[in-house]
A and B are shown apart, each in its own frame.
Chain A
């Protein structure tokens, strides 16, 4: 079952490439600017990182418990039964709350459509998961950018799932009128 698959793999090419680039960049800084600059960057970033560790740990634990306490089928049923602006808002909250990677999120969005939700609801859900999910914000974004930047970024992103959901509804209608086909998006 997809949702039981490990969310966190032990090796990743992305990380390896960033690690290699970092070593090269670090070496250049060390040779060009000397030990002081090299250490200043290191300690500055380590300080930010260590401050964010407790929040990262909380993020991991919340995700692990929510995965077990909030079954995806329940989410799909709740969101799939809603429509209108309320449907978009419920989908947005669920997208922000539901942890997991693309492997678990896209099938849930697909299930909404099967259960009768419209395309706007599914789009609002995926957009909220991408932009408002606490999982990614706590674990990834916070140690890189610090709390102030992340807080403003999320605040600015709050209306975006609603805009995306409404735009998707309009676009779906235009597509159906222009090229035919029904309103079914499964």
Chain B
């Protein structure tokens, strides 16, 4: 067994210990609280399975048909800081929910993109997808808070990508 497998098993075990602790705490407060939590958690899991599955399998096929040369040139492992910035721009421009962002990122990684570039992409997509700023955030917070947050977030994906490049991981 390699280190990654061991770490993965340890984390998996810890997660379920946490689930057990939380479930126990809830049950101590009231039976109804425990039942509600368990039911909602299970329901969300069942609803999410097909959605994540479509994205995971889809990303494999999308990667296979994407123009590999183009990806490697623009956001490949050798594309450096410029590639990181291009990836961050694409992250900001990607519309849609979690399945889109992660499927596109995973497809790019399988199709020849560099890991630092994909990290910059998913980080930018998480922080300031333009569609999400306009459709969600602006309606729920003061507009100048939203713009200030978006503005100070601009360098973050680039920092994460450069850090990944410097340490050579993942």
Distance in angstroms from A91 CB to nearest chain B CB is: 13
How many B residues have CB within 8 A of the partner chain?
77
Would you call A86 an interface residue if the criterion is a C-beta within 8 Å of the partner chain's C-beta atoms? no
Pairwise interchain contact A63-B105, C-beta atoms closer than 8 A: no
Q: Taking CB as reference atom, which chain B residue is nearest A169? A: B152
Residues of B within 8 A of A (CB): 4, 7-8, 11-12, 15-16, 18-19, 22-23, 25-26, 29, 33, 36-38, 40-45, 47-49, 51-62, 64-65, 96-100, 102-103, 105-106, 109, 115, 119, 122-123, 126-127, 132, 136-137, 140-142, 144-145, 148-149, 151-153, 156, 159-160, 163-164, 169-170
Complexed CA–CA distance, A49 and B65 (Å): 21
Residues of A contacting B153 in the complex (Cβ-Cβ under 8 angstroms): 127, 164
Residues of A contacting B97 in the complex (Cβ-Cβ under 8 angstroms): 12, 14-15
With A15-B99, A140-B98, A145-B102 given, name 12 new contacts (CB 8 A).
A25-B58, A49-B53, A60-B41, A61-B19, A64-B41, A107-B140, A139-B48, A149-B109, A152-B170, A153-B123, A168-B149, A172-B148
Q: List 14 A-B contacts (CB under 8 A).
A: A25-B65, A26-B57, A28-B65, A41-B60, A48-B56, A57-B42, A61-B23, A62-B41, A68-B26, A140-B102, A144-B52, A148-B4, A156-B160, A186-B142
Complexed CA–CA distance, A167 and B54 (Å): 38
Pairwise interchain contact A19-B15, C-beta atoms closer than 8 A: no
Residues of B contacting A42 in the complex (Cβ-Cβ under 8 angstroms): 57, 60
Complexed CA–CA distance, A22 and B51 (Å): 12
Complexed CA–CA distance, A41 and B59 (Å): 10
Residues of A contacting B36 in the complex (Cβ-Cβ under 8 angstroms): 64, 68
A-B contact count (CB 8 A): 249
Pairwise interchain contact B23-A109, C-beta atoms closer than 8 A: no
Pairwise interchain contact A45-B56, C-beta atoms closer than 8 A: yes
Contact flags A49-61 to B (C-beta < 8 A → 1, else 0): 1000111111111
Pairwise interchain contact A153-B170, C-beta atoms closer than 8 A: yes
Q: Taking CB as reference atom, which chain A residue is nearest B122? A: A153
Q: Taking CB as reference atom, which chain B residue is nearest A32? A: B65
Distance in angstroms from B135 CB to nearest chain A CB is: 9
Pairwise interchain contact A123-B149, C-beta atoms closer than 8 A: yes
Would you call A29 an interface residue if the criterion is a C-beta within 8 Å of the partner chain's C-beta atoms? yes
Distance in angstroms from B84 CB to nearest chain A CB is: 12
Residues of B contacting A67 in the complex (Cβ-Cβ under 8 angstroms): 37, 40
Pairwise interchain contact B15-A160, C-beta atoms closer than 8 A: no
Contacting residue for B52 out of A102, A106, A140, CB 8 A? A140
Pairwise interchain contact A22-B57, C-beta atoms closer than 8 A: yes
Pairwise interchain contact A145-B106, C-beta atoms closer than 8 A: yes
Residues of A contacting B136 in the complex (Cβ-Cβ under 8 angstroms): 102-103, 106
Residues of B contacting A55 in the complex (Cβ-Cβ under 8 angstroms): 11-12, 15
If the complex has contacts A68-B37, A69-B22, are A61 and B145 also in contact, measured as CB distance less than 8 A? no
Contact flags A1-37 to B (C-beta < 8 A → 1, else 0): 0000001101011110111011001101100110001
